[in-house]
């Protein structure tokens, strides 16, 4: 089945130690999104790619970076994780950017910062 895959499902890192989360998709979608979801809150968009064009949300901290080496893969890099970065990170894809397009979500990676 076509899907969005996130690895790992659970990631533990230490305060200040860089961490990379990965997302892959078999849907061949042009658009990929990264969201941060803290406990009992709504997902918050960090950035998105349209093909290789990167779009950062204005309030996304500089500590968060992203790479998209090809259509299928997208990575979220947290350069120096703080305790406040502990959250579920969700990757999503979409076939286009018109308002009615559905986003397909992966299962998420839960990040713990010690």
Partner 1 sequence: GNSVTQMEGPVTLSEEAFLTINCTYTATGYPSLFWYVQYPGEGLQLLLKATKADDKGSNKGFEATYRKETTSFHLEKGSVQVSDSAVYFCALSATDSWGKLQFGAGTQVVVTP
Residues that bind partner 1 (CB under 8 A): 4, 6, 31, 33, 40-43, 45, 48, 50, 55, 90, 92, 94, 96-108
How many CB atoms within 10 Å of residue 9? 11
Alpha-carbon span 45 to 39, nearest angstrom: 15
Residue pair 28/8 in contact (Cβ under 8 Å)? The answer is: no
- Cβ closer to partner 1: 7 or 14? 7
Residue pair 72/36 in contact (Cβ under 8 Å)? The answer is: no
- Cβ closer to partner 1: 7 or 97? 97
Work out how close the CB of 41 gets to partner 1 at its nearest, in angstroms, rounded to a whole number. 7
Work out how close the CB of 80 gets to partner 1 at its nearest, in angstroms, rounded to a whole number. 26
Alpha-carbon span 51 to 83, nearest angstrom: 32
Work out how close the CB of 25 gets to partner 1 at its nearest, in angstroms, rounded to a whole number. 12
- Cβ closer to partner 1: 55 or 80? 55
């Amino acid at each position: 089945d076509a899907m969005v895959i996130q690895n790992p499902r659970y990631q533990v890192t230490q305060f200040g130690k860089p961490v990379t989360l990965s997302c892959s998709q078999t849907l061949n979608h042009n658009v990929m999104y990264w969201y941060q979801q803290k406990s009992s809150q709504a997902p918050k968009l960090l950035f998105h790619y349209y093909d290789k064009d990167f779009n950062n949300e204005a309030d996304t901290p500089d500590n968060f970076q992203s790479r998209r080496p090809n259509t299928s893969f997208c990575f979220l890099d947290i350069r120096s994780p703080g305790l406040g970065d502990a959250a579920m990170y969700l990757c999503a894809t979409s076939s286009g950017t018109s308002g009615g397009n559905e986003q397909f979500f992966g299962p998420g990676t839960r990040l713990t910062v010690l």
